Amino acid sequence: MDPKGEISEIRERALSEIASAQDEEEIESLRIAYLGREGRLTMILRSIGGLPENRRAEVGKEANAAKKAIEDALKDAQEALAQQPRKPSLDVTAPGVPVNLGTRHPLRLVLDEVLDIFVAMGYSIAEGPEVEEEWYNFTGLNIPEDHPARDMQDSYYVGQDLVLRSQTSPIQLRYMQTHAPRLPVRIVGPGRTYRRDTEDPSHSPVFHQCEALLVDKGVHMGNLRGTLTEFARRLFGDAVNVRFRPSYFPFTEPSAEVDVTCTNCWERGCSTCGGQGFMEILGAGMVHPRVLENGGYSPDDVSGFAFGMGIERLAMIKFGISDLRSLYRNDLRFLRQFGGRLR
């Protein structure tokens, strides 16, 4: 047979076999079959020496070209194979390996959000003792000696003259006293508070409040309305309205209960808001002149507003919790729902 024809045939065949090779092993055996020591093309190359001289160059050239082509094809096939996905498919719907995440307590979530809002509005955070002197909890806040709140019925006492603070308002007095006469006074004061209430779905003898106080020259009730509207919208969304009802607190005058649009019914009235369309969220007012004086400021020169909110109540509204006690039971199955943060 004509060696040139044979070379061409070997080359065609090798290339076609390589093209249909399925895996590394097959490629390797093809390499051996054609280019190995006993390979078909190797044999041809070896036999070139036996050819007439005038054909050697011609056939040798042909054979080397074939060898190169086969080598290239093997290399390409190998590379192509290497790029081809070989691992089995996954069931992508099977559960991932869980990252173990804990949760903030719902009261922390709400309190952090409230604090963040006020900090963003320029307020500083101030704290105070929970076991408080009577003066800071009552007298200094314009709560007179014979006021029912001072009664042993309503407030917890520690020893003779110390009281478990019944509101976070003592923080106002303590802060003003250390800050006076500098202006403005602008603080939020979070913390635990205590009242002798029987535990029920809306009362707890230990609860959390957050207090806010702004004292400066020319602060007025319109500012209180503006601030609380801003606060309520940041907390409950831009669509809520805020409304004030006159009320009474010894440490503010005028005093108001502040309601915000019920986010369950949007003012249509529902069972959540008792048909009111609004939910009471906090108590507020203009700081009573005597409280300003007790804080070391002259009510003739400065004015201020203050408000205080119950964190449990806000949490109940935000999360739709109907029984306050569940916040203190700390059932892990309950707590595990509070992943993430509020903003």
Partner 1 sequence: MKASYRWIQRVSPTDQSAEELARTLTFLGLNVESVTALAEVVPDGTVMAEILEVEDGGEGPPVCRIDAGDGPVTVVSRAPNARPGVFVPYVPPGSTMPDGARVESRDFGNVTSAGILCSAGELGIPGGPTEYLLEVPVANPGADAVETLGLDDWILDFDLTPNYATHCQSIVGIAREANAKLGSGLHWPTPESVEGTGGSSARVQILDSDGCPRYSAMVIEDVVVAPSPWWLQRDLLASGIRPINNIVDVTNYVMLETGQPLHAFDLDLLEEGRIEVRRATDGERLVTLDGRERILQPEDLVIADGRRPVGLAGVMGGENSEVHAGTQRILLESAHFDPVRVLKTARRLALQTDASIRFEKGADPEATVWALSRVAEILARILEAPRPGPVQDLYPNPPERRSIPFDARAINSLLGTDLDRDRIIGYLGRLGFRYREDAEAFEVPSWRSDVHMPVDLSEEVARLHGYNEIPAALPRTEVMGYVPDAQSAAERDTVEYLVAAGFHEVITRSWMPPGSLEVLGTPEDHAFRSLLPVTNPMRDDQSWLRSTLLGDILRVLREAKGVHGGARIFELGRVYVPRELPPVSLPEEPLRLAIGATGPVSPPHWARSEMPEIDYYFVKGVLEGLLDAIGVRDAHCVPTDAHFLYPGRGAALVVSGQVVGHFGELHPAVAKRSDLDETVVIGEIDFAGVVDAAEAHIAVSPAPAYPSAGRDVALVVDESITHREIVDCMREAAGPLLEEVRLFDIYRGRPIPADKKSLAYHLIYRAPDRTLTDEEVEDIQVDVLQALHDKLGAELRS
Closer to partner 1 by Cβ: residue 69 or 183 = 183
Q: Interface with partner 1 includes 226 (CB under 8 A)?
A: yes
Give the nearest distance from C-beta 266 to partner 1 in angstroms: 18
Residues 108-127 interacting with partner 1 (rule: CB under 8 A): 108, 112, 119, 122-125
Closer to partner 1 by Cβ: residue 27 or 171 = 171
Q: Are strands 303-310 and 278-287 parallel, antiparallel or unpaired?
A: antiparallel
Give the nearest distance from C-beta 205 to partner 1 in angstroms: 7
Give the nearest distance from C-beta 63 to partner 1 in angstroms: 50
Q: Interface with partner 1 includes 243 (CB under 8 A)?
A: yes
Write phi, then psi, for 196 (nearest 5 degrees): -80, 70
Q: From edge to edge, which strands make up the β-sheet containing 278-287?
A: 124-125, 185-194, 206-216, 303-310, 278-287, 252-261, 242-249
Q: Interface with partner 1 includes 71 (CB under 8 A)?
A: no
x-marked contacts with partner 1 along 306-335 as a string, rule CB under 8 A? ---------------------xxxxxxx-x
CB-based contacts of 110: which residues, under 8 Å, 6+ apart? 311, 314, 315, 318, 342
For the chain, the distance separating the N- and C-terminal CA atoms, rounded to the nearest angstrom, is 85
Single out the residue of 27, 44, 59, 214 in contact with partner 1 (rule: CB under 8 A).
214
Single out the residue of 34, 138, 194, 278 in contact with partner 1 (rule: CB under 8 A).
194
In three-state secondary structure terms, 125 is strand
Sign of torsion, CA 101 103 104 110? positive
What is the 3 state secondary structure string of 23-69? CHHHHHHHHHHHHCCCCHHHHHHHHHHHCCHHHHHHHHHHHHHHHHH
Q: How many residues bind partner 1 (CB under 8 A)?
A: 80
Single out the residue of 58, 68, 76, 248 in contact with partner 1 (rule: CB under 8 A).
248
Give the nearest distance from C-beta 318 to partner 1 in angstroms: 16
Single out the residue of 42, 64, 103, 139 in contact with partner 1 (rule: CB under 8 A).
103
x-marked contacts with partner 1 along 151-170 as a string, rule CB under 8 A? xx---xxxxxxx-x------
Closer to partner 1 by Cβ: residue 34 or 231 = 231
CB-based contacts of 127: which residues, under 8 Å, 6+ apart? 171, 189, 190, 191
Q: Interface with partner 1 includes 182 (CB under 8 A)?
A: no
In three-state secondary structure terms, 332 is helix
Closer to partner 1 by Cβ: residue 6 or 259 = 259
DSSP character string of 212-259: EEEEETT--HHHHHHHHHHHHHHHH-TT--EEEEEEEETTEEEEEEEE
Single out the residue of 69, 206, 270, 342 in contact with partner 1 (rule: CB under 8 A).
206
Name the nearest CA neighbour of 19 among 74, 85, 99, 62: 74
Residue 216's DSSP bridge partners are: 303
Q: Interface with partner 1 includes 52 (CB under 8 A)?
A: no
Give the nearest distance from C-beta 259 to partner 1 in angstroms: 10
